[in-house]
Structure 1
Amino acid sequence: MHNPIPRSVFRSLSICFFLLHIHATVAQETSNTIVAKTGDGIFSVLRKSGIHPINYYEQFLKLNADNIKNGSELIVGKEYILPDAPDSFKRTGVRIDTGEEVEAPIFNETELSLMNQKDTTLQNTVYYFVHSGGTESKKRFDALTRQLANDLMVKGARVYLLENSKIAAAISDSLSLVAKKEMYGNFSSAINKKYLRHKGAYQRVILIEDAFGPRENSVVRISHNPKSSEGRQFASVLENVLRKNTSVPVKGKNETNPFKDDASLYFANNLVPPIVILNFTDGSKPLQGGFNLKSEKKPLVGLLNDGILEDYSQLNFEN
């Protein structure tokens, strides 16, 4: 059962829905195009745009009938209209910068051209990966979430990566509570807008906190919103997967951990979808629970991917 939407976000959700409707209307009136380069064919231009070539081949032909030679050849330097493809990788994988208030595809043309739909296991899912700030941690965030996004998107999931470039140079722990709440407020606003667009889908938020940056001997601790049964379930599944594939520190705890700090609670209470936090710490320092990644039997990306798939499959089984 879904948790009730907090009263504090009802008003903002109504405003967001109105603005979202306007934005969607304007977007529908704008046609995406691509200029054919040497060696390009219909399949290659569709792939570079993250569009499934087989599903949209005929539509592309109809849209560009006047500029196609011999039934399928493109003219170098000519601009071609792309089909409206809501399921394209360019539109199902989006990076949101709340600092600059811009959205852009996660992957570039070269990367998109290499992506192929594997199956539709996660077709009705939406994942939001949030960066909490810090230059070094941004490197880990990008490496981790870009690979995760690829793995999830080819299974039909929609993925959003959220960051704030204006505070990218700041370390999350150095931000004041006021600054952190403002950052999380912007993130929650952006996420709630997307939630409305994808209402009815399975949606989860994963906040990645990392004040130390990439290190060989690091520990990850998973926490959840104590008021969210779905968040607790998601955290529990992720912990079970990590427990089977990593070493649990001697001083660590085996139960799931509800977060208690003001900033995290503020973020969670202003979000509609459930949230879990992955907190990375230095493995050489005294530990208060968590999983040592130095001895992982499988890369962290693979473990998180397994946990995400398992959580969604359990939900489907229960329903």
Structure 2
Amino acid sequence: MIDLFIRNKILFFFLGACLTGASAFSQDSLITVTAERGDGILSLLRKQGVDPYESFDDFVALNMTNLRDSVHLYAGRKYVIPAADLDTVEVVPSIKKQTTQIKKIEGKAFPIFGKKHEIVLSKSERLKGNVYYLVSGHGGPDPGAMAIYGGKSISEDEYAYDITLRLGKELLSHGATVYIIIRDENDGIRDERILEMDRDEVAYPDKTIPLNQVARLKQRVQIVNELYRRNRGKYQRLIVTHVDSRSKGQNIDVFFYHHEKSKNGKKLAESIHKTFQEKYRKYQPNRSYSGTFEDRTSLYLVKKTHPAMTFIEVGNIRNKKDQRRILDPDNRQALAKWISEGVLLDYED
């Protein structure tokens, strides 16, 4: 789906060990594990051999009352692991209650997501035929907004890029065609809190990113508009992801911009905004969501690009609360998942 990516069809067979008694993954005997210091939802699920991205929502639903801010684990507490959706096959009927579990998974490899995350499994074809252009803010010679966390520098471009990659993978899993406009072939999706800074990002497909700010923006506009022309007649949308920089004391929620004259752009921004409102009501009922969606045609990419689009600011990189939102890989995954659900809502509504 992503142009110029290596497309490999990969067949996996997960062969579980023989189990005594009822299947450990049956709905009647869900596994309970104790979270250790440093565990996140993704790492905890991986330790149990469960696909963390397929099971993320189920895990949250099962453990909602035992999570901090709906996404963080408490060390020392017990958590229920969702049942894996496995086909159970009786291998040796004559041996008392002995079973083997086999799961056959078919997917495609997209190396830009990195070794650990390159396989994209098909969830649906709900976005089949749709084209999405994903632009993460800054990159190359421009790191964007910066801050210090734990004595180390962190930069906007690295976190916006990681969220963008996770979003791209979600959209691909629903059959979309995805163009990652700002790209770093070395990084991939990363699960660390501190994302090391570099300057080797390029613009699609492999163009050097200019140092001059206006030249950088013009380059992105030209790339997106040329791809838009090539895909004329298809359903096309553009999503731009940034991390804001404000005073340290200013905590902001995720908010969205669109072109004032674009009904489709407004609808896209509104759909994602609505999804975030619903997620906050569900997972953080004691906390109001103050993120907004509004027109801001003064932004260069909003004004000059042709596809209907939304421009997303995911937080204030200098604020401690907002830093938790972007530094925690579970949070970055949740952001990407929620944005993708808003995209689905936009298309299907």
TM-score by length of 1: 0.52
3-state SS of the aligned residue for 1:130?
strand
Find out whether 1:272 has 2:306 as its counterpart. yes
Q: Contact conserved, 1:49 with 1:109, CA < 8 A, in 2?
A: no
1:191 to 1:245, Cα distance in 2 relative to 1, 3 A: same
User: CA offset at residue 120 of structure 1?
Assistant: 1.6
User: CA offset at residue 200 of structure 1?
Assistant: 1.7
> Which residue pairs with 1:120 in the alignment?
125
Gap runs ≥5 in structure 2:
12-106, 144-153, 185-197, 200-210
| Structure 1 counterpart of 2:275, from 241, 245, 252 | 241
Runs (4+) off by over 6 Å? 247-251
Q: Deviations over 1:240-298 (max 9, x none)?
A: 111122379879475x311143xx1x32332210121111333887xxxx9x969x9x9
The CA distance in 2 between the partners of 1:272 and 1:300, in whole Å, is 25
> Which residue pairs with 2:7 in the alignment?
50
The CA distance in 1 between the partners of 2:241 and 2:135, in whole Å, is 6
3-state SS of the aligned residue for 1:219?
coil
User: CA offset at residue 209 of structure 1?
Assistant: 2.0
Which structure shows the bigger proportion of residues in strand conformation? 2
Find out whether 1:219 has 2:253 as its counterpart. yes
1:1-319 to structure 2, matched below 5 A, reads: 49-52=6-9, 106-108=112-114, 111-112=117-118, 114-133=119-138, 134=143, 136-163=155-182, 179-212=212-245, 219-246=253-280, 252=290, 256-261=293-298, 264=299, 266-282=300-316, 299-314=334-349
1:251 to 1:181, Cα distance in 2 relative to 1, 3 A: same
Q: Contact conserved, 2:302 with 2:311, CA < 8 A, in 1?
A: no
User: CA offset at residue 300 of structure 1?
Assistant: 1.4
Q: Which one-letter code corresponds to 2:274 in the other structure? A: N
The CA distance in 1 between the partners of 2:117 and 2:302, in whole Å, is 33
User: CA offset at residue 307 of structure 1?
Assistant: 0.2
Q: Contact conserved, 2:254 with 2:315, CA < 8 A, in 1?
A: yes
Which structure shows the bigger proportion of residues in helix conformation? 1
Q: Deviations over 1:157-208 (max 9, x none)?
A: 111222288xx76xxxxxxxx9433222111111122112222221111111
Q: Contact conserved, 2:170 with 2:340, CA < 8 A, in 1?
A: yes
The CA distance in 2 between the partners of 1:164 and 1:305, in whole Å, is 19
User: CA offset at residue 49 of structure 1?
Assistant: 4.3
1:267 to 1:146, Cα distance in 2 relative to 1, 3 A: closer
1:249 to 1:257, Cα distance in 2 relative to 1, 3 A: farther
1:268 to 1:50, Cα distance in 2 relative to 1, 3 A: same
1:50 to 1:209, Cα distance in 2 relative to 1, 3 A: same
Counting matched residue pairs gives: 201
3-state SS of the aligned residue for 1:156?
coil
Q: Deviations over 1:75-116 (max 9, x none)?
A: xxxxxxxxxxxxx956xx6xxxxxxxxxxx62356644x333
Q: Which one-letter code corresponds to 2:112 in the other structure? A: I
Q: Contact conserved, 1:89 with 1:153, CA < 8 A, in 2?
A: no
The CA distance in 2 between the partners of 1:157 and 1:198, in whole Å, is 13
Q: Contact conserved, 1:207 with 1:277, CA < 8 A, in 2?
A: yes
Q: Contact conserved, 1:181 with 1:267, CA < 8 A, in 2?
A: no
The CA distance in 2 between the partners of 1:128 and 1:201, in whole Å, is 13
Gap runs ≥5 in structure 1:
1-23, 28-47, 55-87, 94-104, 170-177, 315-319
TM-score by length of 2: 0.48
User: CA offset at residue 143 of structure 1?
Assistant: 2.2
